[in-house]
Amino acid sequence: MRLLDLRGLSPICDFLVVANGTSARQMRSAADDVVDLAEARQTTILRNGGASGDNWIAVDLFDIVIHIFAPEARQFYDLDGMWADAPEIEWKRRS
């Protein structure tokens, strides 16, 4: 998973999360968890849906856009390469 800082680089959002899932079920579960967390924090959800069937799910939280890909779709769409100049933010998993 990568968290990219797009402030000053993109007029669309401030942060971009690019992640992989191992199956359509895992990807949907991760997206559902993001939506649940956003709703609990009363964050606006602009869009929540798959862009390419079971290969790509995007959740748009206005300032943050989360992309969850199947590995081959992540390689094909190459958002990592598209935003190669964006600083990556290190993150820690909360326990």
Is 92 part of any domain?
Answer: no
Is 91 part of any domain?
Answer: no
Is 58 part of any domain?
Answer: yes
**Residue 56: its pLDDT value, please?**
93
Is 11 part of any domain?
Answer: yes
Is 89 part of any domain?
Answer: no
- Long-range Cβ contact pairs of 77-83 (< 8 A, separation 24 or more): 79/16, 79/18, 80/2, 80/18, 83/4, 83/6, 83/9, 83/16
Q: Which tens digits make up the pLDDT trace of 27-79?
A: 999 999 999 999 999 988 887 776 556 899 999 999 999 999 999 999 999 99
Question: Nearest-CA neighbor of 17 among 52, 68, 53, 54?
Answer: 68
What's the structural domain count of the chain? 1
Domain ranges, residue 45 = 2-77
Is 93 part of any domain?
Answer: no
The CATH number of the domain where 6 resides is what? 3.30.460.10
Is 25 part of any domain?
Answer: yes
